[in-house]
Amino acid sequence: MKTKTLKNVRPMGAAATDLHIVDGRFTASAGADAEVIDCGGRILIPGLVEAHTHLDKSLLGLPWYRNEVGPRLIDKINNEREVKVSLGLDPQVQSERHAILAMSHGCTHIRSHVDVDTHHGLAGIEGVMATREKLKGMIDIEIVAFPQSGMMTRPGTAELMGEALAMGAELVGGIDPCGMEHDPKGHLDTIFALAEKHGKPIDIHLHERDSLGWFSMEEIIARTEALGMQGKVAISHAFCLGAVDRAYVAGLHEKLAENRIHILTTAPASAPVPAVKELNAMGILVGAGCDGIRDTWGPYGNSDMLERAMFVGMRNNFRRDDEVELALEVCTYGGAAIMEAEGYGLDIGCNADCVLVEGETLAEAVATHAPRKLVLKGGEVTARDGKCVVEAP
């Protein structure tokens, strides 16, 4: 029986105390022979949750990719599908590199969209599943079967989606039903049918802005309601909720709340974004993610969800400490609730998935996002001083 005592630790910035871990869970006590870890008065937060990324497509560890891609969404999608071949991208290796980088920053849970298309078939799903198996116990990875290149516009993809779900992908993905698919009814009927057939939830990318996005979102809401899928649908990006017409958006917030539809944001600086504080006030669950990192879409990103909490704060103009704490909540409890992560948190009985951060307060930890002193997953050390205990391939 592995027992540990985290000595002199401040859970979520509260007064210093000792926490105990037995068999991977927080317990009220841990006996005298427990391994004692002196936390030096540092703040402890639960494991960071990367709730929207793309593990199969980063270029980590490869020579620099000079980006000369066109400005449209479809330029990026078409370029990537081709370039994956010429670069010889291995989804298993790339996802392992990416996941280990996330772990080094204190991430304990990842929801990854993984491309499914007729060009690459299920190679992405297989690769990320292999990584998930390899890193089992060190990080929880949830897979969304994601028709990045279109499903209605690319016959054969829906069947591959079905195979991916049968193989073990946990969620049905989707993408801009109008802007990408040119057939909102066809696309949404297909993904909701897949969800029903496989008994799996949905997480759909929605980049469509303003009224086009509102239309697609209302179609998603209508199907969620009709099929009784309340609590089982998430919308990623949801740029249309960042629209200027706040009265219209408020109406959408109400319908989202009624149907317990979750929102995942990556808080991009260059696109309209869902207003985290408004969603939170409506009781809508909000999680966050880094989106793709260092890939053919763009050069940025490092898979650090504490830095992402800063981005969520900066994008939402959060300056007060209570606001910055909300940004951090989105990157921890919010994403965990959306992923329905069992036993998440710092309470007695919860999994000992946790991160020692630097800073006097939670807001300082977010603003500085200094390398994490220690990361535990199920009570075992997965990273120390910003370095993961396992080497990336």
Asked if 298 is part of the footprint of a copy of itself (rule: CB under 8 A), the reply reads: yes
Nearer to a copy of itself, 67 or 230 (CB): 67
Nearer to a copy of itself, 184 or 292 (CB): 292
Nearer to a copy of itself, 135 or 388 (CB): 388
Query: Near a copy of itself by CB under 8 A, which window of 137-145, 220-228, 257-265, 321-329?
Result: 321-329
Q: Which of 1, 199, 317, 342 binds a copy of itself (CB under 8 A)?
A: 317
Helix (H) / strand (E) containing 305: helix 305-315
Measured at the CA of 367, the angle between CA 108 and CA 302, to 5 degrees, comes to: 45
Site for a copy of itself in 359-378 (CB under 8 A): 359-361, 363-364, 366-368
Asked if 68 is part of the footprint of a copy of itself (rule: CB under 8 A), the reply reads: yes
Nearer to a copy of itself, 141 or 275 (CB): 275
Q: Which of 69, 243, 337, 392 binds a copy of itself (CB under 8 A)?
A: 69
Contact string 258-297 vs a copy of itself (x = CB under 8 A): ---------xxxxx----------------------x--x
Nearest to 327 by CA among 279, 292, 371: 279
User: What minimum distance in Å lies between the beta carbon of 388 and a copy of itself?
Assistant: 17
Helix 157-167 vs helix 184-198: crossing angle, to nearest 10: 20
Q: Which of 72, 119, 136, 319 binds a copy of itself (CB under 8 A)?
A: 319
> Is the torsion defined by CA of 308, 310, 313, 317 positive or negative?
negative
User: What minimum distance in Å lies between the beta carbon of 298 and a copy of itself?
Assistant: 4
State how far the Cα of 94 lies from the Cα of 42, in Å rounded to an integer: 33
Q: Is 140 left (phi over 0), alpha (psi -120 to 50) or beta?
A: beta
Nearest to 339 by CA among 173, 163, 109: 109
Q: Which of 321, 337, 358, 386 binds a copy of itself (CB under 8 A)?
A: 321
Q: How many residues does the chain have?
A: 393
Q: Is 41 left (phi over 0), alpha (psi -120 to 50) or beta?
A: left
Cβ atoms 4, 30 nearer than 8 A: yes
Q: What residue ranges bind a copy of itself (CB under 8 A)?
A: 63-64, 66-69, 267-271, 294, 297-302, 310-311, 313-317, 319-322, 324, 359-361, 363-364, 366-368
